[in-house]
Structure 1
Amino acid sequence: MKKNHREKLQGIMFSLPAVIILGVFTLLPVIYSFYLSFNKVSLIGEVSYDFVGLRNYISALKDPRVMIALQNTAKYVAIVVPAQTLLALLLASVLNSGIRFQNGFRTLLFLPTLTSSSALTMIFMFLFSVNGPVNKLLLQVGLLDSPIGFLNETSTVLYAIIIMNVWSTVPMFMTIYLAGLQDIPKTMYEAAEIDGANAFQRLTRITIPQLVPVTNYIVMVGLASTFQLFDQTYIVSGGSGGPNNATLTLSLIIYQYAFKTFGTMGYASAIAVLLTLFIFVISMILRKFTNEDVTGEGGV
C-alpha cells in the first residue's frame, strides 16, 4: 500500500508542472475570455467592465464583417481540408510503394514543415508577386496575356493563400499517413492478390478502410487548424483583411476588434467563443458521421 501510494504521488508530481502550465496559459485565459464576452471592457486607465449580457453575441451575429469573415473561413476550410488530406494520402502511398530514393524524397517533402509560416508566407508573396516566377511561367506557357497581382486581386488572393497552406501542411499529414500505411499487415495485400484483387480493389477494400482512424485524426486536426487561419492573412494583407475583405478570417477579425478598435475587447471575446463553439459543433458532427461509416451504426 505504501509503494502504491508513493507511485501515485510520484505520478502527480511529474504531471503537476504540465497541469499548472495548461491551467495558467490555457484554461484561465479561456475562462477569462468567456467572462469578457458578456462585458463591455475599457482598457484605458483602470480596466473596467460593464456587463451587457448577450449583447456582444447578438451584435456579432448581425455584423456583416463577421459574416464575410465566416464565408472566407468556410471557403478556405472547404478547399484546404479535403485537398491536404487527399494529397497527403497520395504522396504517402507513392513513398510507401518502394520507389527509389524514397528516403531522400521524404526529406525534401518534409522540409516545408520545418520552416516558420511567416517565412513561407514571405516566400509565396514573392512567388505570386506581379514580377514573380508564377506570373513569368504563366506568361511563357501562354495562359496569361499580362501579369496578374494575385495578392492584390479580390478574386485570387485567398486562393493563393490556399495553395501556400496546402503545400506547407501536406508533408506533416503525409508522414502520419505513411506511418499508418506501414502499420497495415502485408499479409492482407498478399491474400487479396491471391484472390485476384487488382490495385484499385486493394486500395478501396484494404488501404482506405484500414486508414479510417488515421484519416479521422487528420481531418479533425485539419479542421481545427484551418478555422484558426491568421498569420498568413495578416502578413499578406498587413492586418487589414484586404483587398476588399477578401482575406478577412474569423481569427483576423477577432484580432482587429481586440487590439485595433477601442472598447471592443468583450466583443472580440464573444466572436472567439462563437468560433470555438462552431469548431466544436462541426467536429462533433463529423465525428458522428465517420463513426457511422466505420461501425455501420451510430457512433459512441
Structure 2
Amino acid sequence: MKRKKQSLLRSKFDQAMTGYLFLLPALVALMVFLIGPIFYAFYISFFKFSFLDPQNAKFVGLANYINLFKDQEFLRALWNTSLYTLGVVPIQTAIALFLALIVNNIRGKTFFRVAYYLPTVTSTVAVSVIFMFIFQPDGLLNKFLANFGIHGPNYFNSPSFALPAIMLMAIWSSVGQFMIIYLAGLQDISEEVYEAAELDGARGWKLLWYVTIPLLRRTTFLNVVMSMIGTFQVFDQVYVISGGNGGPLNSTLSVVLDIFNKGFKTMQMGYASAMAFVLFGIILILTLIQNYFLGREEK
C-alpha cells in the first residue's frame, strides 16, 4: 500500500516537473524581457541616468516625479493625450457597437467582419502614410471639399486640425477590432431573452436600450478599457505624421512620444522612466474607476 502511494506521488511529482520544465523557457523569457526591465526601469526612475554614462548615475529620489508636473512639455503631452482619448474612445465604441448591430443582422457576416477588421491588421505606418496623402493641402479630402466651394486647410501642419485628423485616422483603423468583440457579445445573448422582452412589449429602440446594451455591459467595459489603454499609449501615428517632434507647436505630442524623445534623443532615461510609470499609474487608476462603477451597476 505504501509503495503504491509512493509511486503515485512520484508519478504526480514527475508530471508536475515535466510541466514546469515546459514552462521554464517562457518564464525565463518573461523575466528577462518583460518583468526584469520593468523593475529596472522603476529603479532608474529615481536616478539621473543615461545609458551613455551609466557609471555616473546620480540618485535624485522623487525629483524626477516632482519635475514632471513642472515640465510644460510633459503637461502639454498629457493634455493632448487626454483630449485624444476623450475624442477617440466614445466615438470608436459607439461606431463599433453600431457596426456590430448591423453586421449581426445581415447575410454575409464573414465578408463584413474581414472588411471592417482589415484596417486593424494593416501597419499603422502604412495607414499614417495613406492619411497623410488624403489630408495633404491638395489631397483627396480637399479636392472633394473644393467641389462644394470649400477651401480645406493644411491639416497636419495646422495646430487646430492636426490632432483631430489623427483621431479620425485612429477611429477608422481600429474600430473593426472592437466591432468583432461586440459581435461575439451579441452572439452570446440568448434569443429567449429577446423573445421574453418582446412578450413584455419591448420593440425597436426599447429592445436595444433596455436589453441589448445592458447585457453588453461587460463587453463595453472590455472595449472601453482596451481602447483607453491604446489611446493613452498612442505613438506610431503621431511619430510618423509629426516626424517625431510632436508638431506643429507640440499639438500632436503624446506622452509616449515624449517618453521616447526624452529617453532616446536627450538620453534622460531616468526621467523618461518616471514619465512611463506616471502614465502607468494614470491608466491603472482610470481602469479601476471604470471597474468600480461596473461593479456598482451590476449590484
Secondary structure of the residue aligned to 2:48 is strand
CA distance in 1, matches of 2:145, 2:136: 13
Residue identity opposite 1:23 in structure 2 = M
Aligned pair partner of 1:288 in 276, 287, 292: 292
Aligned to 2:152: 147
Gaps (5+ residues) in structure 2?
1-8
Aligned to 1:125: 132
CA distance in 1, matches of 2:285, 2:271: 21
CA contact (8 A) 2:50 2:270 kept: no
Residue identity opposite 2:277 in structure 1 = V
Q: 1:268 to 1:204 in 2, by over 3 A?
A: same
CA distance in 1, matches of 2:176, 2:122: 12
Aligned to 2:162: 157
Q: 1:63 to 1:46 in 2, by over 3 A?
A: closer
Task: Give aligned pairs, total.
Answer: 291
Aligned to 1:28: 36
Aligned pair partner of 2:121 in 107, 110, 114: 114
- The TM-score with structure 2 as length reference comes to 0.93
CA distance in 2, matches of 1:219, 1:14: 35
CA distance in 1, matches of 2:95, 2:23: 38
Aligned pair partner of 2:274 in 258, 270, 278: 270
Residue identity opposite 1:118 in structure 2 = V
Aligned to 1:298: none
Residue identity opposite 1:124 in structure 2 = F
Aligned pair partner of 1:259 in 257, 264, 269: 264
CA distance in 1, matches of 2:53, 2:110: 59
Aligned to 1:89: 97
Q: Max radius of gyration: which structure?
A: 2
- The TM-score with structure 1 as length reference comes to 0.93
Residue identity opposite 2:118 in structure 1 = L
Aligned to 2:83: 75
Aligned to 2:225: 220
Matched, 1:185 2:220: no
Residue identity opposite 1:108 in structure 2 = A
1:149-194 deviations in whole A, cap 9, x for unaligned?
1111000000010000011111011001101101110111112222
Aligned to 2:48: 40
Aligned pair partner of 1:241 in 228, 238, 246: 246
CA distance in 2, matches of 1:91, 1:202: 17
1:1-22 deviations in whole A, cap 9, x for unaligned?
3343233223323332222222
CA distance in 1, matches of 2:240, 2:200: 55
CA distance in 2, matches of 1:185, 1:42: 57
1:4-42 deviations in whole A, cap 9, x for unaligned?
323322332333222222211111111111111111113
Aligned to 2:4: none
What is the identity percentage for the equivalent residue pairs of Structure 1 and Structure 2? 44
Aligned-residue offset at 1:46: 5.8
